[in-house]
A and B are shown apart, each in its own frame.
Chain A
Amino acid sequence: MLQEESDLSLIIAQIVQKLKGSNLYSQLERQAWASLQRPEIKLESLKEDIKEFFKISGWEKKLQNAVYSELSVFPLPSHPAAPPEHLKEPLVYMRKAQGSWEKRILKSLNSMCTELSIPLARKRPVGEQKELLNKWNEMGTDEPDLSLFRPVYAPKDFLEVLINLRNPNYENGDSLSFRTHLGLIQVPLKVKDIPELKECFVELGLNIGQLGIDDSTQVPPELFENEHVRIGQKVLAEQDSAAAQQYIRQGSPTALRAELWALILNISSQPEDVLYYEQLKTNVIQHDLLVDSLIYKDVKLTASNDDYYFVFEDYLYQVLLCFSRDTSVLSHFAYNSASPPKSYIRGKLGLEEYAVFYPPNGVIPFHGFSMYVAPLCFLYHEPSKLYQIFREMYVRFFFRLHSISSHPSGIVSLCLLFETLLQTYLPQLFYHLREIGAQPLRISFKWMVRAFSGYLATDQLLLLWDRILGYNSLEILAGKTSGTSRNGTRLKEAPLPWNSDKEPQVLAAAVFAFRAVNLMEVTSLAAAEAVLADLSTLKVMPLLQIFLFATVT
């Protein structure tokens, strides 16, 4: 149709524009110039010969991966009349709620700044710079006095904001009626039910091999595991992002995981990337930010106390401190409902040339933020690669877990999906918990905000994050293909694997289902939390499979 063609050409133009500024573009240019000396490139058919050369030498594949990556991350172009804030978040009341939440955070940070008389940013004296450079690899041994610092907010504060989220155009009557939501989330977003989730997560079906289930010691490896590993090696040899993403839905062998994730996220460690990381390191050494102390405090409170992650404490500082200085993260605010905090150079209030973002990447860490990085330390040991992987994971997935948005992968939809699944398929349990004042979301919220990091055993967590990457969605944490449309017309129903975000929600509901018998017997919120306090013995994939495909509905 005419409309779809013009939409397609708009998407193509947008991607070309983005790729023009990238390293890949200049590399392709150089390769094209260099290839002119090759004998098979003839002047008459210059264009076709160069294209053929790219195909053979693997450069076309790299370009394909880059385009695939752009499609996965950036939303489709919106209506020309839509203002940029509409792209961030279409619903006005959610934008307002996010705005007031951000204001609260800024006030909290400002008051911390004035109370403790610590500047937001400070240039380090040369002596201090040298000292920091010397102990860059062992910042964990430092024991600064952090007792006065407190995290800016914790997940439970954010949950309170989400609970109070209301659509002013929605019938929020006082009396209970069919329109009342029994859970905590009161906004009517569209979420998937189990039949739709089954369609979406078809590769997790009972008759399809999974790592996490079919690689256990009782199952002979010839049945599934060996073949799966062989296919994985082939995918890596081909260097095809889309194939890797499809492959990883059935789990990734431990030996191949680091490379597979890098392929899916389209991260290849070029010298420029290492140089960029070194530049960030220099920025850390030159300027000291208040946010650094928040990061220190968070790492000390969370990752350092965790049996699995305390060994990586130094890595966490090296990644998170650099992350705060990375201005390239600012570009993700185009599709994030949040906005970066702004400030002015001292003495130049109101002058736009002296306006800066604080922190430079616009992201204020909250309590538990370092847990997004910690599991990645098992896979990557080289700081610049670890950094790149974390940054890409953040701008693709993690940012949605702590901003208010109507996106199907946003935390609000995930919470609603969790509550809806629980109400529909475990109504007795849901009613019982509600009656004793233990709304299930109060317990599962912290799992979902951290994408289960720190709650599951590490190998299980990595299997879960495999699926997040494979389905390009967070719904597995608690799920929907939006098939985003421009002008109201749906684009051709190409399966959009990069729009589902539901696994973690499904897992949260599955965990409740698994411990349902114990939960039915508790009589208080504290007791319910105790039943669900320790998830470290859970096996993720069997739970998901049972809940999605084997529960009697």
Chain B
Amino acid sequence: MSRILVPCHVKGTVALQVGDVRTSQGRPGVLVIDVTFPSVAPFELQEITFKNYYTAFLSIRVRQHTSAHTPAKWVTCLRDYCLMPDPHSEEGAQEYISLFKHQMLCDMARVLELRLILRQPSPLWLSFTVEELQIYQQGPKSPSMTFPKWLSHPVPCEQPALLCEGLPDPSRVSSEVQQMWALTEMIRASHTSARIGRFDVDGCYDLNLLSYT
């Protein structure tokens, strides 16, 4: 299914913490990232991709456009999605993740704003966030074509004259010959990815020193 990138504006992360940020000892374990779409009309969300950086759990809330005059409400569409199975260890810490429409708890038809709530309960990490956030909406469906009438409603063909016994049915033979031909074409078209195995350049392997880049 094709998808289109939706330009979004990612606001700075806001840490949620009890008490005064300056004086308290620990680091925040909850961060909130707001994502707005200033120049885009309410759209249907297809996919969210990002690169994780030490976030353990992710929740997403969405604000959708509603008709009439009811104010848009925040709805949780993803709750405590686990990105790191063990928050104290590195597993999943820097992985690329995709979240799809069908994984969401609610309909994502007319998205106005998104709010990502990141949680990292482990005190071992100095910081955590998500990076390279990208939002996609559904791409255009394949253009519909109008078929000429004779293609979509073929004239019923006349019954062929009954052949003598013993000869194969011509329509079947032709379909099989077609299959054989298609097979041959396919084999000819496919190229092997076999390597050549040469390490020198035209027989010469006289080298400089090794490069550091």
Contact = CB atoms under 8 A, between A and B. Distances in A.
Interface of A: 2-3, 17-18, 20-22, 25-26, 29, 43-44, 46, 78-79, 81-82, 86, 90-92, 103, 106-107, 109-110, 113-114, 119-123, 167-171, 179, 187-190, 276, 279, 283, 287, 325, 327-328, 331, 341-346, 349, 353-354, 356-358, 360, 406, 482, 487-488
Contacts of A120: 207, 209-210
Contacts of A109: 210
- Chain B contact-residue range equals 35 or more
A121 B89 CA distance: 44
Given A328-B195, A346-B208, A82 B96 contact: yes
B209 A325 contact: no
A21 B94 contact: no
B193 to A, nearest CB: 4
Nearest to A349: B208
Contacts of A20: 190, 192-193
Contacts of A283: 199
B200 A406 contact: no
A21 B96 contact: no
Given A325-B199, A487-B98, A488-B92, A170 B124 contact: yes
Nearest to B58: A488
Contacts, number: 157
A169 B126 contact: yes
Count chain A CB atoms within 10 A of each CB in B83, B124, B207 and give the residue with the most: B207
Contact of B127 (A3, A121, A169, A360): A169
Contacts of B51: 81
Nearest to B82: A488
Count chain A CB atoms within 10 A of each CB in B53, B85, B98, B125 and give the residue with the most: B98
Contact of A344 (B125, B198, B207): B207
B208 A188 contact: no
B107 interface: no
B204 interface: yes
Given A79-B98, A81-B132, A353-B201, A358 B210 contact: yes
A3 B211 CA distance: 43
6 contacts: A81-B132, A169-B53, A188-B88, A341-B211, A343-B207, A487-B99
Contact of A360 (B102, B179, B199): B199
B208 A344 contact: yes
Contact of B207 (A2, A170, A345): A345
B207 A169 contact: no
A188 B172 contact: no
A287 B207 CA distance: 12
B199 A79 contact: no
B205 A171 contact: no
A119 B102 contact: no
